[in-house]
Homo-oligomer: A and B are copies of this chain.
Amino acid sequence: MTDDVKPAPARPRRLPRDVRERQILDAAVQVFSRHGYHAASMDEISDVAGVSKPMIYAYLGAKEDLFAKCVSREAARLLEAVRMGLHADLPPDMQLWHGLRGFYQFVAAHRDGWTVLHRQALTVGGQFAGEVNDLRARAIEMVSTLVVTTGTKKGLGDVAEFSGPALAVSLVGAAESLADWWLDHPDVSDSVLASWLMNLVWLGFNDLVEGEVWRPQ
């Protein structure tokens, strides 16, 4: 019985569960990122994942669950990336600067994940927007805390011309917007991006014109 021809095990079958789950999640993030929640089809996801549809249902549940899990995973990654830059023993501006760098590093490393969080999750009603909005709210609050403590220490109030929370919202929006812009201008480093934002927020246009500049550390 010499016939030991094997059917080419190129793509190994019978993988352990967590490996399969990661494959599927990766594929799902990719497809959701490209088409959005509604236009993405389970068929395409299963194709990209190299797995049959029933497996997706068995491991990760229905489409909604799958999307939720994508959002959660990417949100956790983003949060982790930002957290790594925040050391409580640094001065507020340095915390902000490192946080921004962490954020841009996440965006660079997980474009699809970023798209899912920033573009797709918000357009689907209900819980998904909820999760992302929570994330956003946390980011805003972190910034707000940094900013407001600094401000109040020096006597800054919440007057018509200024609002701490509004500043935080603006900063987060500016950071996001710059992240999108970055996707089309990849030859800028994440620390340069963070510097621009710091200068904008900390010094403002006027001081920049005057020649003042903020620099890390």
Which residues of A are at the interface with B, using a C-beta cutoff of 8 A?
Answer: 34-39, 119-120, 122-125, 147, 150-151, 154-156, 159-163, 166-167, 169-178, 180-181, 192-193, 195-197, 199-209, 213-215
Contact = CB atoms under 8 A, between A and B. Distances in A.
Given A204-B203, A206-B202, A209-B150, A161 B196 contact: yes
* Copies per assembly: 4
B161 A214 contact: yes
Contacts of A175: 170, 173
A206 B207 contact: yes
B177 A170 contact: yes
26 contacts: A35-B125, A36-B38, A36-B124, A37-B38, A147-B205, A154-B209, A160-B192, A161-B196, A162-B208, A166-B178, A167-B200, A169-B177, A170-B200, A173-B174, A173-B178, A199-B204, A201-B204, A201-B205, A202-B204, A202-B205, A202-B206, A203-B204, A203-B205, A204-B205, A204-B208, A206-B207
